[in-house]
């Protein structure tokens, strides 16, 4: 593996999103043909491993091998369940169902300071800050695509109806007592 291929692999590894071939070319100050040649080499080197190269007409990224999707999903879901505190789950649920919400609104719903839970969720990459559409000085929170990946859903519309879900949980809790 030559130095250019190693460098491109490293860039793709640390990038949290797909990179455009033109961006890689410009950033590394090499021709796109050279980048494409290195990407082809990288694709062949990664063939049959746990990490594969995903490529569209203009973007490229490293991803887990689709053959391992079930194992990876189970691993990520288990990790998510084991490590989040009840407060973090509560804040995450509020953000997911409200879609775009301020810290003050979260705290009004919960009735307690949510700074620590928000900070932990931000560090895990499950929520992100977003500028308010009405007041550019205000900060709102929304869930990330990583959160959607953990749940195995494509968008927030796939979440169960909150009221129905809450009713089902209440009924189930009553039956267990």
Query: pTM of the entire structure?
Result: 0.49
Rounded Cα gap, residues 44 and 36, in angstroms:
12
pLDDT value of residue 136: 75
Main-chain phi, psi angles of 127, to 5 degrees: -130, 160
For the chain, what are the domain ranges?
3-64, 70-176
pLDDT tens-digit map of 27-68: 999 999 999 999 999 999 998 899 989 888 889 999 888 888
Percent of the chain with pLDDT over 70: 88
Tell which residue, 154, 91, 169, 99, has the closest CA to residue 124.
91
pLDDT value of residue 103: 92
What's the average model confidence in pLDDT over 90-107?
Answer: 90
**Domains 3-64 and 70-176 in one fold:** yes
What's the topology of domain 70-176?
Arc Repressor Mutant, subunit A (1.10.10)
- CATH, domain 3-64, list 3.20.20.450, 1.10.510.10, 1.10.10.10, 1.10.3720.10: 1.10.10.10
Structural contact between residues 20 and 58, judged by C-beta atoms closer than 8 angstroms: yes
């Amino acid at each position: 593996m030559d130095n250019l291929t190693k460098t491109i692999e490293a860039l793709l590894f640390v990038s949290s999103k797909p990179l455009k071939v033109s961006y890689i070319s410009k950033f590394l100050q090499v021709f796109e043909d050279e980048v494409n040649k290195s990407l082809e080499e990288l694709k062949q080197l990664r063939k049959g491993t746990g990490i594969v190269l995903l490529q569209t007409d203009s973007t490229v990224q490293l991803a887990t091998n689709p053959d391992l999707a079930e194992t990876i999903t189970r691993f990520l879901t288990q990790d998510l369940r084991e490590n989040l505190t009840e407060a973090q789950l509560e804040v995450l649920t509020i953000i997911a169902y409200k879609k775009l919400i301020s810290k003050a609104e979260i705290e009004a719903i919960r009735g307690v300071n949510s700074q620590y839970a928000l900070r932990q969720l931000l560090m895990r990459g499950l929520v992100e800050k977003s500028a308010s559409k009405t007041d550019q000085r205000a900060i709102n929170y929304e869930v990330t695509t990583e959160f959607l990946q953990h749940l195995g859903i494509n968008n927030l519309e796939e979440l169960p109806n909150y009221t129905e879900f809450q009713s089902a949980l209440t009924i189930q809790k009553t039956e267990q007592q």
